[in-house]
Each structure stands twice: as structure tokens, then as C-alpha cells.
Amino acid sequence: MTGGREKIWAISRDLYVVLARDGRYRDTNPAWLSELGYEASELIGLGFEELVHADDLDRARDAVSQMLDGDVVEDLELRLRAKDATYRWFAWTCVPDGDVVYGMGRDTQRRRDLDEQQRHAQKLEALGRLTGGIAHDFNNILGGIGGAIEVVAERLENGRVDGTRRLLDAAGGAVKRAAGLTHRLLAYARQQALSLSDVDANALVRELELLLRPLIGEQVTLELRMQDGLWRTLSDASQLESAVLNLAINARDAMPAGGTLTILTSNIAHADIGRGRRDYVVIAVSDTGTGMSPSVIEKAFDPFFTTKAIGQGTGLGLSMVDGFARQTGGRAIIESTPGQGTTVSLWLPRHVGENAAAHAHVNGAVVRGRGQHVLLVEDEEMLRSIAREVLEEAGYRVSDCAEAYEALRLIDAGPPPDLLVTDIGLPGMDGRQLALTVRETLRNVPVLFVTGYAWDAFADSQTLPERTAMLSKPFSVHALIDAVADLLGGTPT
Ligand SMILES: Nc1ncnc2c1ncn2[C@@H]1O[C@H](COP(=O)(O)OP(=O)(O)OP(=O)(O)O)[C@@H](O)[C@H]1O
Ligand SMILES: [Mg+2]
């Protein structure tokens, strides 16, 4: 090497290397000293493997065998150990030539550091939005409850009871809002308890149609395009309804001057959306509205991200839709062109196999028991006594206790229960174990699980055992009675 070329070898900040075919260093440029701290004399004779990070060795060896076949290696990212024992990333281009290999390594550590910093900043920003949003919403709710309590207390002190009912109702409403908020947060965190059943998305969308028409207003045309012979999916019907509703409301909001809202269902075979090739049932909600810019799309799934005016949106819609879809093994995907419209599609894994307990709606009617015997196991005293009262009011005979062993004793003493209602998180033996044990003797007894969290044991299998259902806390009185009546095959009277 002579003249100008030699200069480049000398001043480059990229690493240049000449390796022997057996992988030993033959020559290195001065950048090895400035970047990694090695003089050429320290390296010559060493094997290239000595400086490569253990986790990158396999890839390095693959590249070497590729070169032995005479191929060029490009953009091979490897970490090299510097003299101070830290590792740095370099992207290598290597060319075999006769009995040597020429290599050039470009530092990619700086770019990686920057990417990492940016990711970290984005995470912090999202986290800030999340905590800020929760704090803000909960403050409002607490303000509502606290205010009502204060006024009621004051009136009682003055011997007045007028208006207290209304105030307490308002406080009750605030509690419901708080429960709704935690539900949506759990959905986002993929930790809500799902009650999975075989769902026909076409039927679900058709049922929603009635609700949707008034919701989207007269300026928006609703079109349903349902695929014939749509596959089934294992999902939580009521969560899925609320996901589709959320998407429809977003679509409506994006079309203030009217437009067309289309809900399309389709079977998509062998698609890879990040979980390997699988079959999916897709529900796509499209609008002809404002569309979304790439930067909005990027943040749209973040909780509390909203472009809507204060009080118009909480920014939880899409985050809970995607969280829910992911919890059932799918995901949500946004496609949008500013000025033309948006499609948000729900990809739900196809369910094959026998019909699991189909989702039964008990429509509106008051369902009452006929003296069936319910065994209620719940360690929270207050919840237990409320549930007991509610069930007795609804016409059931209730035995209750606070833990599993006591429940087993009650069953031994007879009479056997027609239904077991049990909290999952019990001290000692948990609710799931209890149900298994009870079913050893009472094979067909239906079980209603009550839980504050998704149950991992079910998340794995993606399905509830037969004749069981799941109710997540906090639940309304109606939800409890409906679930009990469903399991006991109660009919509306
Ligand atoms: N169909 C759509 N067209 C255009 N923009 C959309 C659409 N859907 C969502 N977006 C954008 O994504 C943001 C986040 O949507 P998301 O549903 O999570 O929250 P939100 O609708 O603002 O509030 P919430 O759903 O909690 O009432 C919206 O504020 C809006 O900017
Ligand atoms: Mg929304």
C-alpha cells in the first residue's frame, strides 16, 4: 500500500483488518488503538474469536464459513471487546481474497446508544402520560365522591335528609366510573379476567347493528360486509362487543361531516402478524374520515393518548382494544391515509374444535332462582355478605364460608350445592384447586370463579373448563345474578 491509500488506512476511524484464512490477525490499522485500545502488535497472531462477544460467536463463525466458500459478508453486526473490557458494536464488511480476508468495521455503537436513548425517552413520555391520565381521572372521581360525602354529612348534622339520596347516587356513579377505569387499564395491561367462549363474530356484529345506528348519527352510512362461513374465534363476547363499539365511535368521531362506516369480517389464512403463521378471523372497522398522521398512528395505542378536546376522550379506547386482542392471542392493526380514512382491524385467532359453551345472552328479563343451593366461598367479609344477600334476594339458598377447607367440610356435611361460587385468590387452597377437588365427587357441579385478575392457569389454555364462568371484580349485582342464572340454566320468568 502506498501514498494516499496508506494515509486513509492510517487516519480512518473505521477498523481495518487483514485476517489470515485461519482467522488470525495479520494487520490492523491505528483505529484499533483509538477505538478499542489495541496496538497492532498486540493483535497480530491472535485469533479473531478472542475479541468477539460470546453471544455473537455463532454468527461470526457462520460468516467465516461463508467466506471460506468465497462469499462476501456484509453488515455483520458484532460486539468486540475493547481493552478496558467493555464491548462495542461494529458492522463488518469482509471480502475473502486468496489466502487472506480484508475486513472493515464501522462503529454502530453510537447509533445504538442514540436509539436506546430515544426509546427510553419515548417510554418515559408514555409512562408520564399514563400516570398523569390515571391521576387526573381518579382525582376527578374522588372529588365527586368526597364532595357528596361531605354534603351528606353536613346535612345529617343539621338534621336534614333532603337530597341525600341524589348525592349518594352521584357518589355511586363515580364509583362505577372508577371501576370502569380500572377495567380499561387492566384490559390495556392484558390482565383483565376474560370469560372465553366460542364466538361467531358475524352474529356479534349483527347484534351490535341495532346499537350502532343511533350511535353514529344520520350523517354516517353504516355498511356491514360479512364473510360467509366466517370461522369462529375463542373470545370474550362482551369485551369484543365493547372493542368493536370503541372502534365504531372512533370512526364516527373522525367523520364530523358524515361519511361511510364499514364493518367487514373475513377469514385470513396463514397470516403472520408476529406470532408465526396462523389462521385469523378479522373484523375491520373502516371510515372515510380525517385519517391519522404517522406520528398519531405511532402513539394511538398508548393509554391516555388522545387528540380530542378535554372531556371528549380519555385516550383509553385503542389501548384497551389492542390489549384485549393481544390477550386473546391476536392484535389490532391500524392502516390510515390522512384525508382519506382509517381502517382499524382486529385480528383474532381462529378457533377450531368442538363448540365450547356458547355465549348465552339473558336478555333484560329478571332471572330468579328456584331455591337452588349456592355455595359461596369468598374471604372478603364485606363482598361475601353483599353477594349472599343479593343471591338470597334473587331466590337462591346460600351457604357461605371464607376458605376452601371450610367449603369442603360444608359439602361433606351435605346437602350438596347446585352451584359453587368461589373467589380465586383464597388463602390456603385457592379457588381453582377447590373447584377441582369438589368436582372429584360432584362431577357436574357448575362453578363461577370470581377474580380481580386474569387467571394465568386459564390464560395458558385459553379456555375455561366446561360449565364454568368467570366474573371479574368489581361486578354489578346484575352481572352476578346473570352469571349464576346462566350456569344454573335459569330461564327468565
Ligand atoms: N378512526 C380514526 N380516525 C382518525 N383518528 C383516529 C381514529 N381512531 C383513533 N384515532 C386517533 O387516535 C387517538 C386515540 O384513540 P383512542 O380511541 O385510544 O382514544 P380517544 O378516542 O381519543 O378517547 P376514548 O376512546 O378513550 O374516548 C384519537 O384521539 C385519535 O386522534
Ligand atoms: Mg376512542
State residue 463's pLDDT score: 58
Residue 67 has pLDDT above 80, yes or no: yes
- Last residue in a domain, options 188, 214, 229: 188
CB of 48 closer than 6 A to ligand 1? no
d(CA 178, ligand 1 centre) in Å: 21
d(CA 318, ligand 2 centre) in Å: 6
Residue 365 has pLDDT above 50, yes or no: no
| Backbone torsions φ then ψ of 78, nearest 5 degrees | -135, 150
Answer whether residue 364 is part of any domain. no
Answer whether residue 409 is part of any domain. yes
Look over the chain and give the mean of its residue pLDDT values, rounded to a whole number. 86
Report the run of H or E that residue 469 belongs to, with start and end: strand 468-472
Report the run of H or E that residue 335 belongs to, with start and end: strand 331-337
Whose C-alpha lies nearest to ligand 1, atom 25?
Answer: 317
99 and 169 in a single domain? The answer is: no
Cis peptide before 349 (omega within 30 of 0): no
d(CA 203, ligand 2 centre) in Å: 23
- Last residue in a domain, options 188, 215, 231: 188
Answer whether residue 297 is part of any domain. yes
CB of 305 closer than 6 A to ligand 1? yes
d(CA 417, ligand 2 centre) in Å: 44
CB of 320 closer than 6 A to ligand 1? no
* 415-435 core/surface letters (b: 16 or more CB in 10 A; e: else): eebbbbbbbbbbeebbbbebb
- Last residue in a domain, options 144, 170, 188: 188
State residue 427's pLDDT score: 84
CATH number at residue 231: 3.30.565.10
Answer whether residue 117 is part of any domain. no
Residues in a beta bridge with 100? 20, 97
Return the SS3 of 57.
Answer: helix
pLDDT band at 384 (very low <50, low <70, confident <90, very high): confident
Answer whether residue 34 is part of any domain. yes
Report the run of H or E that residue 220 belongs to, with start and end: strand 220-225
Quote the CA–CA distance of 375 and 399 in Å, as a whole number: 5
CB proximity list for 339: less than 8 A, separation 6 or greater: 290, 291
Nearest-atom number in ligand 1 for the CA of 344 is 1
228 and 332 in a single domain? The answer is: yes
Name the closest ligand to CA 322.
1
Nearest-atom number in ligand 1 for the CA of 285 is 1
151 and 85 in a single domain? The answer is: no
323 and 223 in a single domain? The answer is: yes
249 and 285 in a single domain? The answer is: yes
d(CA 410, ligand 2 centre) in Å: 48
For the residues 396-413, what does the mean pLDDT come to?
Answer: 93
Residue 164 has pLDDT above 50, yes or no: yes
CB of 345 closer than 6 A to ligand 1? no
14 and 147 in a single domain? The answer is: no
State residue 121's pLDDT score: 83
343 and 211 in a single domain? The answer is: yes
State residue 492's pLDDT score: 41
Quote the CA–CA distance of 83 and 34 in Å, as a whole number: 11
277 and 389 in a single domain? The answer is: no
Q: What is the pLDDT of residues 444-486, one digit of tens each?
A: 899 998 876 654 445 444 456 788 888 876 666 777 888 898 8
- For the record, the C-alpha cell of 155 comes out as 346535612
State residue 359's pLDDT score: 39
Tracing cell 497492532 back to the chain, one arrives at 40
Question: How many structural domains comprise the chain?
Answer: 4
Answer whether residue 441 is part of any domain. yes
d(CA 184, ligand 2 centre) in Å: 12
Quote the CA–CA distance of 327 and 233 in Å, as a whole number: 13
CATH number at residue 34: 3.30.450.20
103 and 146 in a single domain? The answer is: no
Rg (CA), the chain: 31
Residues at Cβ < 5 Å from ligand 2 ion: 250, 317
Name the closest ligand to CA 188.
1
State residue 473's pLDDT score: 67
Pair 426, 379: CB distance under 8 Å? yes
Return the SS3 of 454.
Answer: coil
For the residues 253-276, what does the mean pLDDT come to?
Answer: 93
Supply the range of the domain harboring residue 139.
126-188
178 and 205 in a single domain? The answer is: no
Answer whether residue 417 is part of any domain. yes
265 and 402 in a single domain? The answer is: no
317 and 265 in a single domain? The answer is: yes
Answer whether residue 171 is part of any domain. yes
CB of 137 closer than 6 A to ligand 1? no
